[in-house]
Amino acid sequence: MAPSGREGESGSGAGLAAGIPYGPLLLTLAMQTLATMAAFSAPTLAPKIAMDLGVDGHLIGFFVSTVYGVGIASALFSPDFIQKFGAVRVGQFVMLGVVAMLVIAGSGGLGALALCAFVLGSGYGATAPVSTHLLIPRTKPNVLNLVFSIRQIGVPLGGVLGALLLPFVAVEFGWRMAFWVQVLPAVLLIAAFQYYRNSWDEDRNRTHRLFKAELWRPLYLLRDSALMRLLSLASFSYAGSQLCFIGFMALHLTERTGLDLIAAGQVLALYQISGVASRPIWGWLADRYISSIRLLGLLGIVMAFAAIAAGQLSESWSIWFVLLVAVTAGATASGFTGIAYGAFAAFGGKYRTEATALGSSAMFLGVLILPTIFGVIVGDSREYWHAYGLIALIVASSGAWLMLAKIKTEL
């Protein structure tokens, strides 16, 4: 990628609209939305599933953990398959995994749910590498972070659509139907990808040999590049912090601030909305005024202050200060992902697909580890400020290292 006036990032294009590849952006946004909606279907429908199958609803909570755990491997290995088969074909595989997961989940019991978590996870990690491979060559460098931030809206959008639509379908037609109704959009997206396959996959290498040295390229980037290590650490800590806020905010508010469950849910919804609204704003800023690396570092510092404030929440706090903490936490801990993927792609050089695969695996690992540590600390100490203090230390350190990092034009 050609250098620009800003540190390490690419040059400017002619105009905003001209630089956005609407076709690939819409299809990759749809892929992320439908895959995320499928991933969060089981937790959303957990009360109905648990009642019908006669099992502990908390067991279903392991569904998402399994998806992300398997997704770490699929993220790291997907660039190897993208080289040989093309990003469109791998994107179709992702959606085929979504379809298979939905059909299996809607047809069986608890064992089927466990199986389909592995099925979905086998493709879920490829969503970011596929998107990077399709978007980067078609995106003007001056809107790179904005485009990636818009694509990342698919994650909260999928969660919101699932939360709004699936319970209604489950009540009216049963929880199995809530899985099955998602099949048609996924199949239509597979067909839409096929329409563009010849032109978008023309760069595939049919002679590429799978499971050779290139399979480990994402890990080679981690080994060889200090900047990739810093970005991976920040992605790990920020994504883990995001899930700590999401997973514990409602419980924390009801226990310590006197809010009822409905009010706490509304605060959590505001957190999510802030995360969605901030993503394109951060992308625009990173394209226009500040390097994505520096902006990510700044978000980590602000995130740390939000975590410290969250740890101090009590009944004496005004609701307006509670809302301010939620908005700040959402805008940073939830809003960072678009520019993070943009940074991995921009600074990954010719290995941009592999770099975003590394980013995905780091985020997924953070989602698995940090909320677990957070829960253990809260369970042992019965105090939230201890856990939030640790989160603040981790994200502040990651942010400071990014602020001080030396940025090169290419890896």
SS3 3: strand
**Pair 265, 250: CB distance under 8 Å:** yes
Q: What are 66's two structure tokens?
A: 């399994």
Q: pLDDT grade, residue 17 (50/70/90)?
A: very low
Q: pLDDT grade, residue 57 (50/70/90)?
A: low
Q: pLDDT grade, residue 411 (50/70/90)?
A: very low
Q: Give me the half-sphere count of Cα atoms (radius 13 Å) on the Cβ side of residue 227.
A: 23
Minimum mean pLDDT range among 44-48, 52-56, 88-92, 240-244:
52-56
When comparing pLDDT for 215 and 204, which is higher?
204
Q: pLDDT grade, residue 406 (50/70/90)?
A: confident
The CA distance from 196 to 175, in Å, is 34
Backbone angles phi, psi at 2, to 5 degrees: -75, 140
Give the chain's mean pLDDT: 88
110-158 residue pLDDT tens: 788 889 989 999 999 999 999 999 999 899 988 999 999 999 999 888 8
Q: Give me the half-sphere count of Cα atoms (radius 13 Å) on the Cβ side of residue 96.
A: 10
Give percent of the chain with pLDDT exceeding 90: 58
Q: Which of 45, 99, 90, 97 is nearest to 70 (CA)?
A: 97
In this prediction, residues 31-59 reach a mean pLDDT of 83
Q: What domains are defined for the chain?
A: 12-202 (1.20.1250.20), 216-411 (1.20.1250.20)
274-325 residue pLDDT tens: 999 999 999 999 999 999 999 999 999 999 999 999 999 888 889 999 999 9
Q: pLDDT grade, residue 59 (50/70/90)?
A: low
